[in-house]
Amino acid sequence: MNNKQMLEIKKIATDKPLIPVILERFSPRHYSSEKIPENDLQIIFEASRWTPSAKNIQPWYFYWTEKGSETFDKLGTALFDFNYWAKEAPVMIVVCVNKPDLSEDNQWHNYMHFDVGQAVAYLTLQAQSMGYYSRQMAGVDTVKAHELLSINADHEVFVVIALGKLGNYEDLKDEMILEKEKMPRVRKDNIASKI
């Protein structure tokens, strides 16, 4: 299986004129070891900075680490076993939610996770537009990740994102991952109704 064949499998089946970055995006489990320039990372984070949020609270914060660093290895130990493949990505991002100040008006805190999800979507689409793929993972021991890394006490670890260029699928020897990667992308058809 080569990358061209993989991208063909992952093509979106739609007759709607979606923007290319959405058509091309998918969440791989196979990454190139190619480093991501820090300037590119700053552009990707800048996109998430402009995400809308309830009452403009902006309840997201990101910590990132590069493969080969002590913090990357520590974060790898907090991933659930089935996310072992993420340790090959050149960058992992810890997505955090700012814990609310409960002395403030509480109603806005109900939207924090929604807002963080939007910030991750902005980050993901910006990265994709620059040729970087990402996969968001809930399979992480969030308490362990918080304890092992220098994460602010007011930041709640939410998910981890693997980020990097697409790996060469001809080099992928892990049959279990390859079978998962070959699965076509499917979505529910009926997601909106006029009322």
Domain ranges of the chain: 36-164
Q: How far is CA 42 from CA 105, 145, 165, 185, in A?
A: 32, 23, 16, 30
pLDDT tens for 26-81 read 999 999 999 999 999 999 999 999 999 998 989 999 999 999 999 999 999 999 99
Q: Which residue has the tokens 């990265």?
A: 127
pLDDT of the residue at 100: 72
Q: Is the pLDDT of residue 17 over 80?
A: yes
For the stretch 79-104, pLDDT in tens is 999 999 999 999 999 999 998 766 66
110 band by pLDDT with thresholds 50, 70 and 90 = confident
pTM for the model stands at: 0.95
Q: Would you tell me how many other CB atoms lie within 10 Å of the CB of residue 175? A: 8
Q: Reduced to 3 states, what is the DSSP secondary structure of residue 97?
A: strand
| For residues 17-24, average pLDDT | 94
How high does pLDDT run on average in the chain? 94
- For tokens 């907090």, the residue is 78
Pairing of strands 60-66, 133-137: unpaired
Range 163-167 average pLDDT: 97
Q: How far apart are CA 179 and CA 130, in angstroms?
A: 27
Written as six digits, the tokens of 56 are 């403009």
User: Considering only CA atoms, which of 120, 117, 160 is closest in space to residue 139?
Assistant: 160
Indicate the CATH number of 36-164 among 3.40.50.620, 2.30.42.10, 3.40.109.10, 3.40.1360.10. Answer: 3.40.109.10
What is the percent of the chain with per-residue pLDDT over 70, rounded to a whole number? 96
Please return the burial class of 48, using the count of CB atoms within 10 Å of its CB with bins 0-12, 13-18 and 19+. Answer: buried
Tokens of 46: 């800048």
Is 137 within 8 Å of 86 (Cβ atoms)?
Answer: yes
% of the chain exceeding 90 in pLDDT = 86
